[in-house]
Chain A
Amino acid sequence: MSKGEGKKIAIKFTEKLVGDVAGNSLAFIVTGNEPKYIGGPTIPKNYTVASVEYHPEFVDSKTLLLTMTTNKDFKNVEGLLKVNYDKSKGTLAGSAGFVESFETMFLPIDLEPKLDPSVSEKFIVTPTATIDFNKVVYNDRYVNEKFVMSANCTINFEYVGVINP
């Protein structure tokens, strides 16, 4: 996973953290602003945290690694990224007590934005229908009958980034 995908945030604390930190993903809220599409207006976005863990590259138990949920990454963010921690929802603690709620902002670097091209596309789907007529025998017929037939069509849209990354 490259830095440009905007999926990981590392947070270092002044003191060691104790206990399991895995259940703290809901205590973090990550927000920022990004263009709606190329050349479009900037809109606020929420980036959902999928997991919280001790950073595997730091053995001091002071650093956490937050991983964003798939398709909720911040690679398109413009400017500062805001990170909130709510102590009433989390269990982060050091040996002397619980970590206080905090809010901080930082400028993420080396991101590789992949914005919506916003080019409208037009699909024309021509269905081919096969109709079998069954013979109907009318006995004691009173009124004419009218048959109405309809056809359903299913279209699968594939993520353009997968086809033409």
Chain B
Amino acid sequence: MRNIDPSFLSKLNKHNQTIYGNANPKMSVQVSRAKSTVMDSTYWTVEKIREKEGLGDSSVVARRFKPHGPPNRLYNIYVDNGIVKTSIREYPDYQKEKWQNKFELGGGKAVAIAFNGNWERYRDYWQLVTNNDPFLFWVDNSGKLFTQLWDDAATKIELATSVNKVKAIRGWRNVNFLDKDHGVIAAYIKTNGKVYYRNYCSQLNGTLAWENEREVTEFTGIAINLNLFITNDYRTGIMIEDSLGKVYWVITSRNWAGMAIAPEKFTVGTKAEVDLIPVNYIRPRHDELFTIGASATIGGLMFGRTDNSIAYAENLPMSRLDEDNIVYEDWGFKVRLKVKYKSIITPTFTLTDKNTSSPLSIKTVTEIVEGYEYELLVDDTLLEFGFNIVDGDIMIGVTNFKNEANLNYDIINYDFTPINLVSPGGGIPELELIWNE
């Protein structure tokens, strides 16, 4: 909607609108609907929030209680001459109250704001239906990053120290899997120029918690600016500008399972046949009522490919002590492998001597890259020399692992040839004597 020009409005408000009253009552109205807010910038409402000397960082977020229609309030956190302040604006602003100043949070240099909430699908589009109050993030003058839920000082906690800048966003949360939640993300640049983040997200036990600080190790430069974004294919990303003026993206994998495909509706009809057996009533007292019911249940319907394969597998060296307590590299205990498609649970692995079909017992399985890459350690209490005694290939078996639609992958059997093995020598034990005791 656009405001009517004041001179035109005064002419419209005149009792008589004539040419002689300098009002030529003609109106040419063209009405069109924007294709989308992204493609047609004229659809946007541009509004000045405030204008004064000494304004610093500022961040705005919209509150929305329904997955359709406009938001119902805007929230703003900003730095005004070194003081962190807050304000709100009703939306729509029927009372013309404009931006109303609220409380202050003391001295600071950087701010951000973001709502937590739930994603709801409305006409094939996901919308964030927000909670009542937003998370505020601000960096005080000593470099400490704080957060609290709007004006509730009891929720104030310190997230990090030595911080220069902060940005925040609500990432995608998968509606089907509790542990697939990007959470409310506060990403920040520290004084060392590195980028870190903390996120407030669902835990496996159903609770929400701030997770530990993580560094964005994929970015190796000196960060100057950053911002956050989410994409329509269910990723969350960080955009970083380094000290050389180059801009980088760091982006998550798709948090898509169950989100990207609209739910389908199945109508299932039932056919019931009822045999009525005649009942002879002798001196009945009251009527009897027969009620017959039928029910059917259909589980969640999702699909993901169930074939998978091993991208690579190799044996790696491991430091061990020989009989003289001298450290040496032994290639007969550690196997690293990578599966092509992600598994949402740690698979069950087996190792087998291909030549003799003997099992090579595994002591530990370590996840190197979540869902993809694993490291297997052979049990040295059962196999003193590990798989140094193997002459030929080792077969890796992978079972009990699931795709992101929670379907079981097909079983994988994969052979690889271990390298740098050193046979301990000696002979293979054979039966010599047997007796009862």
Query: A residues near B, CB below 8 A?
Result: 3, 6, 8-20, 23, 62, 65, 74, 81, 83, 87-100, 102, 104, 106, 108-111, 142
CB-contact partner of B383 in A19, A99, A104, under 8 A: A19
CB-contact partner of B429 in A62, A91, A104, under 8 A: A62
* A12 CA to B434 CA, complexed, in Å: 6
* A109-B429 in contact (CB<8A): no
Instruction: Judge whether B80 is part of the interface by a CB distance below 8 angstroms.
Output: no
What residues of chain A lie closer than 8 Å to B433, measured between beta carbons?
11-12
Which DSSP category, helix, strand, loop or mixed, fits chain B's interface? loop
Q: Which residue of A lies closest to B384 (CB)?
A: A18
* B426-A96 in contact (CB<8A): yes
What residues of chain A lie closer than 8 Å to B356, measured between beta carbons?
87, 97-98, 100
What residues of chain A lie closer than 8 Å to B385, measured between beta carbons?
18, 95
* B428-A98 in contact (CB<8A): yes
Which DSSP category, helix, strand, loop or mixed, fits chain A's interface? loop
Known: A96-B389, A100-B356. 20 other contacts (CB 8 A): A3-B436, A11-B434, A17-B429, A18-B385, A19-B381, A19-B382, A20-B381, A81-B436, A87-B356, A91-B358, A92-B429, A94-B427, A94-B428, A95-B425, A96-B427, A96-B428, A97-B428, A98-B428, A99-B429, A100-B430
Segment 375-395 of B: residues with Cβ below 8 Å from A: 380-385, 389-391
* B391-A97 in contact (CB<8A): yes
Query: B residues near A, CB below 8 A?
Result: 283, 353, 356-359, 361, 380-385, 389-391, 423-437
What residues of chain B lie closer than 8 Å to A8, measured between beta carbons?
436-437
Can you list 9 A-B contacts (CB < 8 A)? A8-B436, A9-B435, A9-B436, A13-B432, A62-B429, A88-B358, A88-B359, A96-B427, A98-B358
* B437-A94 in contact (CB<8A): no
Most chain B beta-carbon neighbours within 10 Å: one of A15, A97, A110: A97
* A91-B427 in contact (CB<8A): no
Nearest chain B CB to A97 CB, angstrom units: 5
* A12-B432 in contact (CB<8A): yes
Nearest chain A CB to B220 CB, angstrom units: 45
10 closest pairs, A vs B, by CB? A13-B429, A108-B436, A18-B384, A98-B358, A8-B437, A15-B429, A95-B424, A94-B429, A95-B426, A12-B433
Most chain A beta-carbon neighbours within 10 Å: one of B357, B380, B424, B429: B429
Most chain A beta-carbon neighbours within 10 Å: one of B358, B361, B432, B433: B358
Knowing A93-B389, A95-B385 are in contact, say whether A14-B426 is a contact too (CB < 8 A).
no
* A99-B428 in contact (CB<8A): yes
* A75 CA to B89 CA, complexed, in Å: 92
* A12 CA to B361 CA, complexed, in Å: 24
* B283-A15 in contact (CB<8A): no
What residues of chain B lie closer than 8 Å to A104, measured between beta carbons?
431, 434
* A21 CA to B347 CA, complexed, in Å: 26
Most chain A beta-carbon neighbours within 10 Å: one of B353, B356, B436: B436
CB-contact partner of B434 in A9, A88, A89, A96, under 8 A: A9
* A6-B357 in contact (CB<8A): no
Q: Which residue of B lies closest to A86 (CB)?
A: B357
What residues of chain B lie closer than 8 Å to A20, measured between beta carbons?
381-382
